[in-house]
Structure 1
Amino acid sequence: MKERRYALIIVLIVLVLSSMVPVFSGGQQEPVQEEKEIELLTFFTPDGTGTRQVGFKKIVDKFTEETGIKVRYTVVPWNQVNTQLILSELSGNSPDISFVEGEKFALHMAEDTLRPLTSYIKRDMSSSDIEDHLNWNFGVHSDGEKYVFPISYLAMALFIRTDLLEAKGLSVPATWDELIAVAKAINTPTTPGLMFPASPAQATQLNWFQPIVENFGGKIIGEDGRAIFNSPGGVKAFQLLRSAIHDHKITPVDAGSITYDEVTDMFAAGRIGMIFEGSHRYLTIASRLGKDKITLAPIPGKDKSSPSPTTVVGWTLGIPRGSKHPEEAWEFIKYFNRTENALEYAKISGEIPFLKSVSEDKFFVEDASEHIEFFVDYINKHGISIASPATAEELVVTLAEAIQRVVLEPSTDIQVILDAAVKEYNQMVGLD
């Protein structure tokens, strides 16, 4: 019996080994399922604690769970995303999907960094999906192609310390004269009444300064693309900033070397009375300072009936030309554009929604914080498009450097500074 059992075991071993021969002799194996992954170029971090980063990560995690497609973050500072995308394309090492700054859209069209998305849209989106967008033309180029989809919309406003107003029995300023009076009343050696960033290190000044220039009757660029912020209206806007520092003493000279991020951090820490800030940072500031200590107001104007407008911008998602996984990247964009996902992101981030179905949700109509209602109303009444030529990078740096010179060189004629800046920009971009 033992001999028969041993013989049976030997036969079984031979059969098993013979079935494995193709594997060891170069036979075909079952293909291993390749794990899908897309690379995202962004300034968000996976473990970030800001409301926008938390909201975005929530959508990314749900996307991976439902589709099996992982998202690998490549993180750079927010003011380097556009440059990094262009360099990645030139080097042949493009990410699969990328954040694209809305006001730099024309730059990316000139550099040809993005894939057109119209073929995907025709294949996968219905007319009702398209109609649900508050501004479908945001991201549509003159060739009729759509290249990017918004993550949210951003608008600028005047952020005011409510507690400082109440302590002095003051009202919200609606004009420039009122702003100066309020800033003087709340100004202390340790808490400036008003602060703005004049450092070109983070050239974001266009977002809040263009509204001021236009309120005084000026423009940043003309219809032909030439810089024209040296007009009489432009001079008045620059004079306002200089006077805040050197005449009214409501803004410290340090403003000339302070960046946008530093101003935001100082206000959130309770060390500034008023700043010009964007809707996208409201919840982050409120989480540190407290919602009860923040009052939102339109950027003041020459008179009470005419506040300054607000620029409407936003970060978007696009697929680079060199994307190695464009289909998977499109799946993420499509997923983010579902009403339930856009709603969840907007609730967590506190940003202005880009879908009508989201903005009409009960959360925003009845339950949402008043800041969303404020910004939507401000945009509807006084929203303007930000100046965004293909040479936007050169424009914002030139403008920032002009602002810095105006506030740090009080004895230099403003018109002289602006004429030189405008001439430099126009020559730089081949328009003069």
Structure 2
Amino acid sequence: MTQLPDAGPAPVAHPPVTLPSARTCPFDPPPEYAELRETCPVAPLALTVGPGDGAGWLVTGLADVRAVLSDRRFSHRNELIALPIPPPFPMTDYDPPPAAPGAFIKMDQPDHSRYRRLLTRRFTMRGVAALTPMITRLTEEYLDALAGADGPVDLVSTFAEPLTVRVMCEMLGVPEPLREPLAGHLAVLSRTHYTVEELIEACTVIAEALQDLVAAKRADPGTDLLGELAADDGLTDEEVVNIAWALLGGGFDTTANMLALGTFALLAHPDQLALLRARPELADNAVEQLLRYLTISHLGASRAALEDVELNGTRIKAGDTVVLALSAANRDPGHFDAPDRLDITAEAQGHVAFGHGEHQCIGQNLARATLRTALPMLFDRFPALHLATRAEEVPLRSDMLHYGVHELLVDTGA
């Protein structure tokens, strides 16, 4: 059993807080996180809606966050977790169902591992290394298109998003005609606000498209990941559909945002960009620092306590929802030197940008490979790349489940 850290005496009672959201810098988490991490690292959190009548807690220190994420006394089951932010549309009764068969991301052991084991081989470092030529080829295609553009271009819609979608779809085996509809409707579900009608339409289109795709893969599996799953007689069509949904939903939005926001951050820190160009061997560490520094999972990770647990001097009761502030943990000065500075030469080991423990993002190696390939190639191809707007005019994705930029207008200088 994981031993949770104990910082000594219980902190002074703190009034319930709401999840911080207002930023003073596009690359820094809200400043309230730093204050809470210092004065009340396990703070009472006001919940909006959710199952049961448990309390909410906001955890901001890296050691506490990693401890909770590695402790099976905290559950990731969908039906147990309350919301720290308003639901996407007004509702009076929030009663989430258990995860559907195959939706392993919202499951605990042993179901979570049973599904995850089916995917692990494809997402190991060795498995992802085999995809590097494909990622390189696709990156070159989009860079060629950028070179032919006339005037400023939006790096999000012309590079970051389409590249990520194609990488994921080629790995999984999603044919070209389905890619844009799936990406568009998954983007709707990535917002923090949408209507019931938008929800129904998005879920209907995604489900029907994936059902048709799985049926086609049953008939002709091929060599891609979905074909491999479809060829498994031990999996139902529903399980394969939901596994695919989880992978696409997690892969489209995250890496695209890191690629665009990472580009923005480097352009805004010309000393670090110059260092990356001068020392290409720093590319791997630069990616880790960008992951830590930016932490696009800005709403954190949520867990529900299955039993009473002592966390840093605070009693978390069974049924309570715990929100782990990943962006705050990744700026913890107790672990990282000068954590609020982007330094691509600094140590980033131990960051939780991909989570931690059994539920750590299964696609992290693919995300890293895409970023390690695409960022250096972008800046090598366009050494004069620069923002075409003022930095303060870049529209930020504070209204989305994953942080980033809605648009990044750049001039390639080509």
Range of TM-score over shorter length: under 0.3
TM score, norm. by length of structure 2: 0.24
**Hey, which of these two has a bigger chunk of helix by percent?**
1
TM score, norm. by length of structure 1: 0.24
Structure with max Cα Rg: 1
